[in-house]
Copies of this chain bind each other. A is one copy, B any other.
């Protein structure tokens, strides 16, 4: 495994792919290289791009990556896909659209599924971002469907969060947008050639005006047509400017700190979860507690939680 990390640091793409696969499968062989990788991270500009289904995120990431490459930046992309339980893999065709980028040695694209549990996805995604960071990519883009809390959690840990909207959409879609508005550093109205794009642009601008974000910076709202590339240069400008802004204000360290602490918390949660689950199935005292919780209902879940915690503390088993 020593070899895997050295190969990665020397620029071997297959080592990168292999390590991400190990991480995604929760393979213990990933443990050592991932631990030793940490000191090589912290250089990449991490960009999260999120938006509702159908907003054209993948096409936008595609165009944006071409623009960033034209400016000399190397780019890593982690695309989080909803996963089909039937195929066990990503069912989206969007990835295919990125194939023209796949031949560029300065671009590394990886899809990751969202199967498995909550904490698991976040931990694996963070590890994958760190891998591409250590691999030396100038920018790492995380692309997600911005509907769920997990996706929001992943994206808000980026240095720069881009929230993509599209014209139209019902009340509920508007509400979903609202839910992710507070995390956006840059807003994009994609499919801006549609006739109702002006209204969406005005709505977002208004919501931003109404919000008290406690920042001296007003997030830009950018109109793009990802399929033609229109507005994508402006988006690239905004992303790079935001990085400069973070540097000048000393906010880059703050973001890096928050990112690492969130990672730490996720790893701890996952480990506690596994320990508790094992205890509830295997430890006789805990099996009896479960019986009282479920069958006789003489213990409630909140009191049960206290008992599980003190039991595990006594055994020092977490």
Q: Which residues of A contact B (CB under 8 A)?
A: 31, 34-39, 41-42, 52-54, 81-86, 90-94, 114, 118, 121, 126, 145, 147-151, 153, 169-176, 178-179, 181-182, 207, 210-211, 253, 256-257, 260-261, 263-265, 267-269, 271-273, 276-277, 280, 290, 293-294, 297-305, 308-309, 313, 316, 318
Contact = CB atoms under 8 A, between A and B. Distances in A.
B210 A86 contact: yes
Given A39-B297, A276-B265, A147 B150 contact: no
A252 to B, nearest CB: 12
Contacts of A145: 147, 172, 176
DSSP class of A's interface residues: helix, strand, loop or mixed? helix
A300 B181 CA distance: 32
A41 to B, nearest CB: 7
- State how many copies of this chain the complex holds: 2
Nearest to A58: B172
8 contacts: A53-B176, A82-B172, A82-B176, A86-B178, A145-B147, A148-B149, A265-B273, A268-B305
A164 to B, nearest CB: 12
A174 B317 CA distance: 43
Contact of A272 (B92, B178, B272): B272
A308 B264 contact: yes
B264 A269 contact: no
Contacts of A114: 149, 179
Contact of A149 (B92, B93, B149): B149
A148 to B, nearest CB: 2
A82 B178 contact: yes
B273 A174 contact: no
Contact of A273 (B176, B207, B269, B290): B269
Contact of A178 (B84, B176, B313): B84
Contacts of A150: 118, 148-150
Contacts of A153: 118
Nearest to A183: B85
A92 to B, nearest CB: 5
Contact of A280 (B261, B272, B294): B261
Nearest to A257: B294
A304 B153 CA distance: 21
